A and B are shown apart, each in its own frame.
Chain A
Amino acid sequence: MSGKSCHSGHRERVRRRYHEFGIYSFHEHELLELILFYGIPLKNTNEIAHRLIEKFGCLDEVLKAPEKELTKIKGIGASAAVFLKTFGDICGEYKEFISVNQYALSADEYVALIREYFSDTEENKCILFCPDTNFRISFSADIFLENTKDTIPIMNNLVKKESSRIVVAVNKMNSTASPNQNDIQLMDIISEKLSAVGIRLQDFLIIGKRSAYSLLNDSAFVV
């Protein structure tokens, strides 16, 4: 067996394991081994991960370590050190992002955001939007109307994101904001699924060319 296929098979298995079982199924050095896959092609990164943890104490300190210190570890070259620094910097920004973005958008604000998003999206496409986090998932109504398996990852995401309230919007920007029977049915189905996992449907909007209609509140407004 070639070295390349040996390591690439192992790496694929590790990624699948991460995908299936999540981060908490990994010991710290295994997590670092996985991260190192992206900075070090082809080599076995398990021993390198152990050396890094031994030197710096924990994963967080590895990701904060200067490049110069990282390259002193056997197996970490200049490009691997740059990758670890890049990844560490991005994680650092993520922590700032989640601590700063604790805001709730007003109705005017989220309608404006949704309209902007819909301007590049095809007619009748829908989104589930969380005003607390600016988190959104786009989908086709059929997924819920036909109760396909694709609703499961959508609901998983909403629960994982700890969304407490959701706005659903349907793109009808090329026409008027008039609901039809499908829209009503979609609202009922989504509302039931959200309610089952303790998430509130805050609003169900039809976004038209010049106005929007709130199906949940039975009111129209100009945008």
Chain B
Amino acid sequence: MSKSIDNIKAKYKENGIGILSEQEKTALLLSYADKGDTVEETAEKICDKYGNLYNAADCDISYLMKECDINLSSAVLINLVSQVSRVTEINDAMRIRLNTVENAKKFFTSYFKGRNTEVLAAVVTDKNFKINNISIISYGGFSEVHAPIRSIADFALKNECKYVFIAHNHPKSDNKPSPSDIMSTIEIKNAVDVIGIPLVDHIITGNNGGYSLRANKGDIFTEIKEYKL
């Protein structure tokens, strides 16, 4: 192991991860997969190609191996950073009971974190608002894609749930709903009513936080006393 890696480890130990440059962070991580002398060189290559470790972490493993000339062990370790981060973030959020508007906003804000494109998600819960399952129904949000009502109904039915929530994000704008957001919510509410699964809320997240359609336009929805505004 090179002296330089020892220096990086000492720097990290003393000052924490924030003090390290992108290349140093990459070299530090790689040193656990690669005990050879070319770790710093590889770290430099990765940062040159991808900008930083975190962009590389989102890359396909095969592609990373080929473009940066690294072995499976190193590529898997880099990839684990993004995958483990996302999974632990979502698992953490999944423990939230969606029995209040604040909890629902908190959950979906966490769930959509890091997404740069609009997506429409559906969540199904049991009678205590504990999350059973979550699914991305479509990419593109309400304004770009006709809300896939059938997919939402299918998802709700297949998961033996009591309630369903829908949510979508506005990655680059505020959380204000458009007229089509409201119309689509009514269509979805009517559809899931027919199959006996109430639509609890439609949460929209934007760069100013979460917005609850039930809290603001409650007349669209059937009353659910257990869901606290």
B225 within 8 A of A: no
> Bound complex: CA of A19 vs CA of B79, how far in Å?
9
Q: Is B88 within 8 A of A19, CB to CB?
A: no
On chain A, the residues within 8 Å of B73 by CB distance are 15, 37-38
On chain B, the residues within 8 Å of A120 by CB distance are 48
On chain B, the residues within 8 Å of A99 by CB distance are 113-114
A157 within 8 A of B: yes
Q: Is B92 within 8 A of A60, CB to CB?
A: yes
On chain A, the residues within 8 Å of B171 by CB distance are 102, 132
B60 within 8 A of A: yes
> Bound complex: CA of A89 vs CA of B17, how far in Å?
7
> Bound complex: CA of A63 vs CA of B81, how far in Å?
12
> Bound complex: CA of A92 vs CA of B60, how far in Å?
21
B33 within 8 A of A: yes
Among listed A69-77, A161-169, A185-193, interface-contacting one: A161-169
Residues of B in contact, count (CB < 8 Å): 57
A182 within 8 A of B: no
Q: Which residue of B lies closest to A120 (CB)?
A: B48
On chain B, the residues within 8 Å of A104 by CB distance are 172
A86 within 8 A of B: yes
> Bound complex: CA of A135 vs CA of B58, how far in Å?
9
Q: Is A136 within 8 A of B50, CB to CB?
A: yes
Q: Is A157 within 8 A of B59, CB to CB?
A: yes
Q: Is B116 within 8 A of A162, CB to CB?
A: yes
A38-B33, A135-B55, A164-B117 known; A58 vs B82 contact (CB < 8 Å): no
Closest Cβ of chain A to B74, distance in Å, is 10
On chain A, the residues within 8 Å of B58 by CB distance are 135, 157, 160-161
Q: Which residue of B lies closest to A12 (CB)?
A: B72
Q: Is A18 within 8 A of B76, CB to CB?
A: yes
Among listed B24-32, B158-166, B177-185, B195-203, interface-contacting one: B24-32
Could you say which of A12, A83, A95 has the most chain B C-beta atoms within 10 Å of its C-beta?
Answer: A95
List which B1-38 residues lie within 8 A (CB) of chain A: 9, 12-13, 16-18, 25, 28-29, 32-33
Interface of B is mostly: helix
List which A9-30 residues lie within 8 A (CB) of chain B: 12, 15-16, 18-19, 22-24
On chain A, the residues within 8 Å of B76 by CB distance are 15, 18-19, 34
Q: Which residue of B lies closest to A35 (CB)?
A: B80
Picked from B13, B55, B61, B114, the residue with its CB within 8 Å of the CB of A19 is B61
B224 within 8 A of A: no
Closest Cβ of chain B to A219, distance in Å, is 25
On chain A, the residues within 8 Å of B139 by CB distance are 162, 164, 198
Interface string of B35-65 (1 = CB under 8 A from A): 0000000000000111111110111111100
Q: Is B55 within 8 A of A95, CB to CB?
A: no
On chain B, the residues within 8 Å of A162 by CB distance are 115-117, 119, 139
> Bound complex: CA of A181 vs CA of B54, how far in Å?
36
On chain A, the residues within 8 Å of B33 by CB distance are 38
> Bound complex: CA of A98 vs CA of B111, how far in Å?
12
Closest Cβ of chain A to B47, distance in Å, is 12
On chain B, the residues within 8 Å of A92 by CB distance are 17, 85
Q: Which residue of A lies closest to B77 (CB)?
A: A38
In the complex, the 10 A-B pairs of residues with the closest C-beta atoms, listed nearest first: A98-B114, A60-B88, A132-B116, A164-B117, A89-B17, A23-B83, A38-B32, A153-B63, A91-B85, A94-B85
**CB<8 Å pairs between A and B, sample of 20:** A24-B87, A31-B87, A34-B76, A63-B88, A86-B12, A90-B17, A91-B81, A91-B85, A95-B89, A97-B54, A102-B172, A132-B171, A134-B51, A153-B63, A153-B66, A157-B63, A161-B58, A162-B115, A162-B116, A162-B117
